[in-house]
Amino acid sequence: MMFALFMIVVLLVTGLIWLFDSLVLSKKRPAGVDEPVVVEYAKSFFPVILMVFLIRSFIVEPFKIPSGSMMPTLLAGDFILVNKFTYGLRVPILNNTFLKVNKPARGDVIVFHYPPNPSIDYIKRVVGLPGDKVGYLDKRLTINGRRVDVEDAGYYEYVMSGLNVVEAKQYHEQLGVKKHDILVHDVMGSYDTDTIGAKFLEGEEVTVPDGHYLAMGDNRDNSSDSRVWGFVPEQNLVGKAFFIWMNFDQGSRIGTKIE
């Protein structure tokens, strides 16, 4: 969000300089006199900045994965692309939808403004849609009274902070038409009172409110998600993650489609 604001400011400054020179300064400039350097730079940068701004705001935006909360689907260090129009076109900064397209589907990997601090972007998987009744007990999801299907996929080892190697159980999980992998650890979660996570631990189910989504990380026991801070408002949506375009440590991940 801060980068978008920076882009708008630079776009306005360079555009106004170009416009002011075209309407006022150029008419007073003697023949043969070069343009001021600031005007020359403004004219050079404005079209480029405008193009980048339009692409990032309405078509596709790059993001870097900062943590392992979406493992094994996404790894820390993955550079991904996010489709900005699949959930509708939005006013930059304000994030209000002015052209509706699609709604998130159960199982989509979404980028959104973190509800407690919208200046931060988060990435998680959509687990519950508006109106869904969701439960999570014994490491298994229940949606609208039906337990979500999973298949054993063996074990998955990875390195956590502090260079500690940990092992997790890996499963193939089926959310609607979406099949993806999740990790679960042999630990019990701990949540503040009245959070969604605390209700899950008590065997309760929650109903997703209208205009909101329940999101969880694929690394189920190592993810700060809706169980901790609540539902994702539709207005916070940024886009749908769909492609890994770079990973400097693992080149084999380049070109991977995000499912």
The pLDDT profile of the chain, 259 residues, written as one tens digit per residue, is 778 889 999 999 999 999 999 999 888 888 888 899 999 999 999 999 999 999 999 999 999 999 999 999 999 999 999 999 999 999 988 898 999 999 999 999 999 999 999 999 999 999 999 999 999 999 999 999 999 999 999 999 998 766 688 899 999 999 988 899 999 999 888 899 999 999 999 999 999 999 999 999 999 999 999 999 999 999 999 999 999 999 999 999 999 999 9
Query: Is the pTM value of this prediction over 0.85?
Result: yes
Active-site residues, by number, are 69, 124
Could you write out the DSSP letters of every residue in 138-203? TTEEEETTEEPPEEEEEEEEEEETTTEEEEEEEEEEEETTEEEEEEE-S------TTSHHHHHHTT
Give, rounded to a whole angstrom, the gap between the first and last alpha carbons of the chain: 25
- Separation between Cα atoms, residue 237 and residue 72, nearest integer Å: 23
